Amino acid sequence: MKKQGIMSKTDQYAEFTYRPNATSPPSMQEFYESVINGIIKRFQLGLYQGEYPYYNELQSCLHEFIRLMNFKSEILVEVFQSITNLNLSKETFPNVVVPCASCGMFIYIVQHCTICYSAFYCDKTCLKNGRQKHESECQQAKMTPSIIYPLQVEIHCGSSLGDDVKIYFQHERKLSLLYRGQKFLNSMYKILLKNRWLKNNGYNIIENETSIQLQSTKKIDMKPTEDQGDPNYSDEDLYLKMPCVQEIKVIFLNQGAILQDIIKETYNLQTNFIHIYYFPI
């Protein structure tokens, strides 16, 4: 948002845009943009059954961030429109609006073709009037089959690893595992080397055929904060908020990864936190 002049912590939207220092997690703006870019990436990969579920997920993402952020929604809408080039309605929780396939008027995405999920109509009248024209171009919406065999990537962090982070992969389709896995690792390695935070904050990157390890060369300040004085605060809050893990999550979301779950495991009283992502490759 620098081009819009939001550059200091005293700005109206500093809480959204500002990263206090290099060792801080990504700003909420970076997360927001990466989630939207991830949805766009998955759409480009053919992982939505037509445009309706794609628009619907973008719309849900916008609504969730508006609920999450405790200030006006204008900046969220502005970022959303600049990334997606979609039109939105003027409401507290804006909805995606698209041209009617029959009359051209901008409408909600509620009335849509149930075969291709990519044609939208004002009402049943427009649906009836535009049916003949649409039938010639309508095709059954299909998802890319590769989503059935995703590359599963795990981010491991926690007390057993200290400040180090390990990234493992496992492809559910055993055929061509080595090729697919190495291709992913090579790409991930380049991204990690280029990334501004990881490159400048004391991590050595060690790779092999099945994993990448980010080995910390300096101790990250893990001193208790005011939040950690809370009796409900746990190690999970500490490790899942590690700047390194936060940065990797942003990278993965920008690549179109789908977050499946976060698992907490205990082994010999040492706790691991595992983020699982699926990459449709």
DSSP string across 197-265: HHHHTTEEEEE-SSEEEEEESS-------TGGGSTT--HHHHHHT-HHHHHHHHHHHHTT-EEEEEEEE
Q: What digits encode the pLDDT tens for the residues 150-166?
A: 778 889 998 888 889 99
Q: How far from the centroid of its chain's Cα atoms is residue 162's Cα?
A: 26
Q: What is the chain's mean pLDDT, rounded?
A: 81
Considering the chain, what percentage of its residues have pLDDT values greater than 70? 82
Q: What digits encode the pLDDT tens for the residues 64-77?
A: 999 988 667 888 99
CA atoms within 13 A on the CB side of 126: 17
- Give the angle subtended at the CA of 62 by the CAs of 253 and 88, to the nearest 5°: 125
Taking each helix axis from N to C end, the angle separating 51-68 and 28-44, rounded to the nearest 10 degrees, works out to: 170
Closest to 197 in 3D by CA, of 35, 23, 2: 23
Report the distance separating Cα 164 and Cα 178, nearest Å.
25
Report the distance separating Cα 139 and Cα 116, nearest Å.
5
Report the distance separating Cα 50 and Cα 113, nearest Å.
10
Closest to 147 in 3D by CA, of 33, 32, 275, 41: 41
Structure tokens at 140: 């059954």
Q: What digits encode the pLDDT tens for the residues 80-129?
A: 999 999 999 999 899 999 999 888 899 999 888 888 999 999 988 888 88
- Give the angle subtended at the CA of 205 by the CAs of 211 and 29, to the nearest 5°: 95
